[in-house]
Amino acid sequence: MRSCACRAGSRPRREPGAAGSLTPVLHAFVLIDAEPARIADLAQELADVDGVAEVYSVAGEADIVAIVRVRHHDELADVVTRRITALDGIVATRTLIAFQAFSRHDLEALWDLGGGGT
């Protein structure tokens, strides 16, 4: 069973840079092993951490997955190693950093040759 503790408005994809260029957002998935009695409260606490965009309680290799979205690698390091691990009840974390995002829309565009038929 999955539940989500999401913060409204915390999912920017890109933001304007200094010269009007777009600055990409870094995405990371933090797999969290937690003390069983703390999972529900911990998920809510994680959702309030700056830089954490979404939090899911999950079944499988981890108890909680936190999706982190930040602009710089040093921010990512701070969110994971200082803010997240400072919360009581976290036993261990594993962080996966996304290289590229794929969505159904992106994949359809990739295979669309622009032809109207066959």
In angstroms, the CA 103 to CA 106 distance is: 5
Residue type, 22: L
In 3D space, the residue among 57, 66, 58, 70 whose CA is nearest the CA of residue 84 turns out to be: 66
Residue with token string 């933001």 = 15
User: Tokens for 32?
Assistant: 């969290």
pTM of model > 0.85: no
CATH number of this structure's domain 3-7+16-111, picked from the four choices 2.60.40.1730, 3.30.70.920, 3.40.50.360, 3.40.50.720:
3.30.70.920
pLDDT tens, 25-52?
Answer: 899 999 999 999 999 999 999 999 999 9
Residue type, 9: G
Q: Which stretches within 3-114 are classed as H helix?
A: 39-47, 73-78, 104-111
